[in-house]
Every structure is written in C-alpha cells, then in structure tokens.
Amino acid sequence: MQGQRTFDIVRVLVNVVYYVVALLALLVVILKSMALVMGTQELTDTSRQLTVNFDVKAFPKKDTLPPQLIYGSLKNAALEKKEDMYTLRTTSRSPLGIYSYVMTLLGAIAVVTGMGWLRKIFQDSSLKEPFRAINAMRIRNIGLLLIAADVVRLIGYYIFNRMTNPYFTPYFEQYMEVGNSLWMGLLLLALAVVYRRGVEIYKENQLTI
Amino acid sequence: MAIIVNLDVMLAKRKMQLTELSERMDITLSNLSILKTGKAKAIRFSSLEMICEILDCQPGDILEYVPDRPEDKK
C-alpha cells in the first residue's frame, strides 16, 4: 500500500523519540529532586554554586547606554547586543526554586503524556484501518494538553512576577514564549473533529454492502 | 429502522443458503450477514443488482419500507 513505508518509518521515529524524551524527563526530574532535597537555602557564590536560573528581561530607565551593534561582512545585517537580558539566580530550596521544580515536574508529565498519546496513535493506526475512534480522542487530548500547557505557563509567568518584582529594581519579567502551543492545540482540536467525522464515514463505509 | 431487508425471506423462497449466495456474488459471508440482519447502513446498486439477478427477483422483494411507529422514536 502506498505510504506504508513512510508510515512505518514515522512510527519507529515516534517510538524512539518517546523513549528518549521519557528518559530525559526522568533524568531532569531526578536531578531537580536531588537539588531540592540536598541543595542549600542560601545563595552564596553564584559562579560555583549550583543554582536555579531564570532568563529575565529587565525594563530599566532610558538613561542607559544604547545597544551595541557589531557589523560583519554581511551587508545590511548587524549583531545587536541586548543590554537588558539578565539571568535570575536562586537556590533550589528557595520559593523560586520550588516554583521551578513544580513547573519542571508539570512540564515533564505533560511532555511524556503527550508523547505517549502520539506513540499510541501511531501504534493503533494502520493504512488499512486509518480511522479509529480512540485516536480521535487522543488527538483531542493532545490538543487540550497543549492549550493547558500554555495556560499553566501564563499562570506561572504571573506567579513568577509576583514573587520577584516587589524586591528588585529595575522591573523585569520572565522571558518566555507563550501562544505557540495554544494555536497548535486549537489546530489539533479542529483536526480531532475532522478525524471523528472520518471515523463516522469509515464506519458507514464498512457497513455498506 | 424504516427499511427492512427481506433477504432471508427471498433466500427461503429460492431454497438457497446464504453461503451459496455469498460465493456466487463473490462477497464475504460476514458482509452478507450484515445485510441480512439489517445492520447495513447502505447497499450498492451493483450488490443489489447481483442479488436480484441471482435470486431472480426485484429490488422491492429484497427491501421493504415500514414506517417507524411514533412510540419507537421516543
């Protein structure tokens, strides 16, 4: 059947990626947990101490120096040094460290769960029987998971700002990209509806003599 | 369902087994059973034509319209 080879290759790839991602997620969670249990509460020497880091963008007053531009041999292009990017360092047992741990744990669970669903979709599908009701549910679940991931990220962004900004000058915000997985999730929800219709048509076709 | 399939009646009239019909139509027995038990969602003209040809009957002998009773719809 046409496309069977591509389908088999993608299925193997998804399987491999699933195990790699699951292993990495497990490693990250173990390391974070160890840092939480064994780490110190006080921030001492940030160059040597194992810290929890957040990339933040500061918004200082406008009297700072203009950004430095580096010109290369490529015409009409320049490398701009951003002045206002900082890394917020904290210990793993501080409130921000615990926040980071919770976010990492949630992220790891979401990634492994999502990849698991994707893996099962490929396991249960075949070109002979491409439409299955359970896969429509899994596609919808992945879509919802992606939307939830962005919502949690957004909530985390506000929590982070509430936890840090009253104590620092200049004002800064956590550097994160929100919105991509929301659109992806909405697209998957729409695809799940189309897929469900495909399941119905397939069933009707099977019952046509 | 409002459409009743009378394939079993016609088979009995022609003294023919479902297996024989499936062999002559070159259709699997399970598919023909789906049609006979009324679980089918649709029937192709080509299948209907073959059934009519083999059983020497009209489509009306195979399919019958019986209106649903209002209490059944509830």
Query: Which CATH number applies to B3-73?
Result: 1.10.260.40
Are A209 and B47 inside 8 Å of each other by CB?
yes
Q: Is B46 on the interface with A (CB under 8 A)?
A: no
**Angle (CA) B31 B61 B54, round 5°:** 60
pLDDT for position B74: 56
Domain segments of chain B: what residues? 3-73
Task: Give the relative orientation of helices B29-36 and B18-25 as an angle to the nearest 10 degrees.
Answer: 120
pLDDT for position A65: 61
| Whole-Å CA distances, A114 to A2, A117, A132, A149 | 28, 5, 18, 11
- Describe chain A by its helix, strand, coil percentages, rounded to 5: 60, 10, 25
Pairing of strands B63-65, B3-5: antiparallel
On chain B, the residues whose CB falls within 8 A of the CB of A199 are none
pLDDT for position A45: 67
Convert B17-52 to b/e letters by CB count within 10 Å (16 or more is b).
eeeebbeebebeeebbebbbeeebeebeeebeebbb
pLDDT for position B1: 61
Count of helix runs (H) and strand runs (E) in chain A: 4, 5
pLDDT for position A105: 94
pLDDT for position B69: 73
Nearest chain B Cα distance for residue A204, angstroms: 6
Nearest chain A Cα distance for residue B50, angstroms: 12
Low-confidence ranges of chain A (pLDDT < 70): 1, 45-49, 61-67
Task: For A58-70, write each residue's pLDDT tens digit.
Answer: 777 666 566 677 8
Residue A32 burial (CB count, 10 A) = 21
Are B32 and A204 inside 8 Å of each other by CB?
no
pLDDT for position A104: 92
Residue in A closest to B39 by C-alpha: A207
pLDDT for position A112: 95
Pairing of strands B63-65, A78-80: unpaired
Task: For A112-130, write each residue's pLDDT tens digit.
Answer: 999 999 999 988 888 777 8
pLDDT for position A20: 96
- Which is more confidently placed, B7 or B1? B7
Nearest chain B Cα distance for residue A1, angstroms: 22
pLDDT for position A64: 59
Mean pLDDT of B7-27: 90
On chain B, the residues whose CB falls within 8 A of the CB of A207 are 34, 39-42
